[in-house]
Structure 1
Amino acid sequence: MVDTPHVRIRAIEMFERPVHLRLPFRFGVVTLREAPQAFVRAHVETADGHSAWGAAAELMAPKWFDKNLQLTNEDNFDQLRTVLRIARDAYLGDPTPATAFGHFARHHDAHQAVCATHGFNPLLASYGPALVDRAVLDALCRLYRIPFAAAMQANLPGVDRSHPQFDGLDIAGLLASLRPAPTIEARHTVGMLDAITAADLHERVNDGLPETLEEVIAAYGHRWFKLKVGGQVQADLARLHAIAAVLDRSTHPYFVSLDGNEQYESAAGVAELVAAIRATPGLARLWSSTAFIEQPIARKLALDADLRGADLGKLVIIDESDGELDAFVRARARGYAGVSSKTCKGVYRSILNAARCAAWNREEGDSRYFLSAEDLTTQAGLAVQQDLALVNLLGIGHVERNGHHYVNGMAALPAAEQQAFLQAHADLYERSHGAVRLAIRDGRIALGSLQATPGYAGGAMPDFAAMQPLGGAAA
């Protein structure tokens, strides 16, 4: 393995292309039907003149980073384009060589401060560096022809204590100890509008893909599920009862997480739902199968709400509240046990929080603290591959996957691009119903090719020529 390399970032290019959903996805305060996907390319160069391009991709999801109802979806998309451009200008504005992590550490705090002057919250601000950092890391791995897992185990990006939030943690020791698994469980999302049985369907899409929860289980064999709850106890109970009626048919164990999507104002409101679930006989198996509760309280209140006195019965994690690098530290002090890993928040943030979990669990002699792996309607191609590679490396045994369900795979992409990804990752994808798509068999996703391919889990590249520059401006 090479020594930790320092690189200059010579160029950063940004693109986007539209994503149209085959089914409406209701989460929190939004029903998603379409959104752009952002793409970032970064060109890095070593002191001896060797160079490589890397890339990253992420959906520009509205009403997740900023849930201000006064803003339109287009307003949200423009916010995300702006934070991408702010990150690009910062990373290109300092030509001094640094490690891949060093570029992140150098710019993180200043980027957050600049974004704050635009009125952008820290979660929204994180989106820009998250894509640039992944593109730089991909380029670094390609430059040295090293797969992502091996590069991280050897700390090729040079993750160290150069940012104060990483101080006092054994990052290198954690990375060296990580061992990715050959497969991972796919945790299926049941959105607020999703049909549970055929009787719930008003009109079929009829594209050959599963549309109801029953059909999803029959097609993919899921054992893990993410259930959205909406903050209205009686409505939530009725929907959970309908879901349990399907899940309880299984003779094998199943597992669920409950996602509150910030729909509650206090721990007492969450406790009310929990008490109602516990008091409903038809939900006994579902409740015993619940692994954790995700971000039930609105982010502006969540880290002020002390969960330690509430009778919630399950561990609770933060997701949308994870805006600043120290958010998990503050959440722990309020009784939260976990935090989500999402590549839209940054690869180094996930590593930081994994190191915290390891340190805190050692301190307490327990396994209370954990990372969950959550989705942002991650699309087939670089986005889903980089997310899968990261959460698998971190030892998370299951990951929310919903992009393959709400979007018709790679159907909208050029045929050559689809074939390139299928050829490079024949275990991860399959061709069915006229398109290349994520392959889920017996509830699991095969990851072998992601661990063997040089680069940040990308054996193929998107067709950038088929995209438009970000926001119609110069790439």
Structure 2
Amino acid sequence: MPDFRFCVDEVSLFERPVKFRMPFRYGIVTLEAAPEVYVRVRISTADGATAEGISADLLAPKWFDKSTDFTNEQNFEQLRKSVLMAADRYVDPARIDTAFGHHAAHEEAHHAACVACDLPGLVASFGIAQIDRAILDACCRVRGISVFDAIRTNLPAITAATAPDLDGFDIAQFLSTLTPKESIDIRHTVGLTDAIWESDIADEDRIGDGLPQSLEANCKFYGLRSFKIKLCGDAEADIARLAQIAEVLETQVGDYFCTLDGNEQFEDAKQFLEFWHTVLGDPQLEKLARSVQIVEQPINRLKALEAPLGVLGDLVPVEIDESDADIDAFPKAIALGYRGVSSKSCKGIYRSLLNRARVEMLNQGAGGEAGAYFMSAEDLSTQAGVALQQDLSLASLIGCTHIERNGHQYGDGLSGISAPWRKALQAAHPDMYVEQGERLCLDIRKGKIDLRSLQVQGFGVLVSPPFDDMRCLAPNFSASNFRFL
């Protein structure tokens, strides 16, 4: 079958405000509100067919760039700028290429341009990720297929062009084996400011919106079995908090597994190793320690890829997340003793797919040892609708059986959107959403989300959002050949 080629005619960007139902503390920020950006593209094929595609993601502050020199608003501006810079590169009615061809042609130059503007690698990745995802959505719509079929047949024409370490690995054959899951386990986030027990919540701090607030209540309400526990880097405080969490999980859940998110709060591998030995030596944490499957990015991104993990890498599976700032990061991490890498839609679908191919290649080289190298699926407060559905589709594509989910917990269930959009989403995805008053909430049952309704034409999105209800980014952000629809 000949490659599916097209040009990118137009891109438009919109925003809607998102207010959280409860504060979410990760790393150095406590998030209560942020904008969500929506991208819409239009492509044209050589035979005159056209289609539009969309993507969306939250502009999360103090994650893409954790510098304290910037305010949250300045972080939002960084991410907007990256999307607009990427759009400027892609929009070219004279350039005909495959979906991955467009990506490969622009990725390196986009990252270099962002560096020249003092934008970090993760900020650069965010911009190109939004355009790529919207383009892939449009490609699927032109062909009338789901993203799962598009990847299985390699409609984007993914190659090792941006990942030469995969030369000789049959990427197309590997992609043909990817089969989406019908459901996925929720790995519930335990944030640094979250109440552990119901009794921890003062009367004046109770939300009273019908949804759970404490870890104890969440376990009962959603039937949770897997968890992601945030660490603050203060050993004494973390140990005390882990003991409380362990008590809840062992009394309210029983059998469970968890991951620990170091949030870059440790200076080096030695400091985290000392902390981990303390965990192993604490009788209250015996079961929790046995239940830890992954330790996520314990070391600050500025130092994480400077030195080998040593004994730590042999003792516990450690992955990179914030250090995954470009396509070359995962191989560098593997050489230092890391065994995994996180997948997030905001980093890019092609990075996730190529990293998943690397995991397959590495595990084949390790004699097929199950889990020797791995990927996890992580959330960055993705909101219900476009962002959530595309993120879940990606996690399902790369074979994850569980995914961190926190957007449902801190976000306010698409509150504030128009009733027609809310009702259309619930009707299109009755297995995923449930209406609660003027909210659209994630329908989690026995700790799982049903994913079957994502099998639709396009990239997991059957219902397009009402762009007329959103703010269109100001034209003065646009570059010379950038046009708004």
Same fold (TM over 0.5): yes
Shift, 1:282, TM fit: 0.6
Segments of structure 2 that go 5 or more residues without pairing to the other structure are 479-483
Secondary structure in structure 2 of the residue aligned to 1:355: helix
Deviations 1:68-115 (A, max 9, x none): 001100010000010011001011147311111111000000000100
Matched, 1:158 2:157: yes
2: CA distance between counterparts of 1:10 and 1:329?
35
The amino acid that maps onto 1:61 is A
TM-score by length of 1: 0.97
Instruction: Show the 5 A alignment for 1:204-353.
Output: 204-250=206-252, 252-310=254-312, 313-353=315-355
Secondary structure in structure 2 of the residue aligned to 1:96: strand
Secondary structure in structure 1 of the residue aligned to 2:97: coil
2: CA distance between counterparts of 1:164 and 1:336?
18
1: CA distance between counterparts of 2:397 and 2:73?
35
Secondary structure in structure 1 of the residue aligned to 2:74: helix
Matched, 1:464 2:463: no
User: Out of 385, 388, 391, which is 1:387 matched to?
Assistant: 391
Secondary structure in structure 2 of the residue aligned to 1:38: strand
2: CA distance between counterparts of 1:220 and 1:431?
16
1: CA distance between counterparts of 2:154 and 2:253?
43
Shift, 1:308, TM fit: 2.3
Corresponding residue of 1:356: 358
The amino acid that maps onto 1:442 is K
2: CA distance between counterparts of 1:399 and 1:455?
22
Contact kept, 8 Å, 1:4 with 1:155, in 2: the verdict is no
1: CA distance between counterparts of 2:475 and 2:190?
34
Corresponding residue of 1:25: 24
Contact kept, 8 Å, 1:274 with 1:313, in 2: the verdict is no
1: CA distance between counterparts of 2:299 and 2:209?
37
Corresponding residue of 1:104: 103
Contact kept, 8 Å, 1:372 with 1:399, in 2: the verdict is yes
Change (3 A) 1:410 1:284: same
Contact kept, 8 Å, 1:59 with 1:377, in 2: the verdict is yes
Matched, 1:8 2:12: no
User: Out of 421, 428, 439, which is 2:425 matched to?
Assistant: 421
The amino acid that maps onto 1:439 is D
Instruction: Show the 5 A alignment for 1:77-96.
Output: 77-93=76-92, 95-96=94-95
2: CA distance between counterparts of 1:471 and 1:62?
20
1: CA distance between counterparts of 2:244 and 2:437?
29
2: CA distance between counterparts of 1:97 and 1:444?
42
Secondary structure in structure 2 of the residue aligned to 1:70: coil
The amino acid that maps onto 2:470 is M
User: Out of 405, 408, 419, which is 1:401 matched to?
Assistant: 405
2: CA distance between counterparts of 1:58 and 1:164?
25
Shift, 1:3, TM fit: 4.1
Deviations 1:239-277 (A, max 9, x none): 001100100114642010000110011001111110111
Contact kept, 8 Å, 1:307 with 1:335, in 2: the verdict is yes
Between 231-240 and 92-101, report the one with greater CA deviation.
92-101
Shift, 1:168, TM fit: 3.3
1: CA distance between counterparts of 2:257 and 2:356?
22
Corresponding residue of 1:167: 167
1: CA distance between counterparts of 2:449 and 2:266?
33
2: CA distance between counterparts of 1:285 and 1:263?
24
Contact kept, 8 Å, 2:7 with 2:92, in 1: the verdict is no
Shift, 1:313, TM fit: 2.8
Secondary structure in structure 1 of the residue aligned to 2:174: helix
TM-score by length of 2: 0.95
The amino acid that maps onto 1:15 is F
Secondary structure in structure 1 of the residue aligned to 2:68: coil
Displaced runs of 4 or more, over 4 A: 471-475
Secondary structure in structure 1 of the residue aligned to 2:380: coil
The amino acid that maps onto 2:63 is W
1: CA distance between counterparts of 2:220 and 2:438?
20
How many pairs align? 473
Residue identity (%): 45
2: CA distance between counterparts of 1:438 and 1:208?
13
Between 27-36 and 248-257, report the one with greater CA deviation.
248-257
Secondary structure in structure 2 of the residue aligned to 1:339: strand
The amino acid that maps onto 2:348 is G
Change (3 A) 1:237 1:313: same
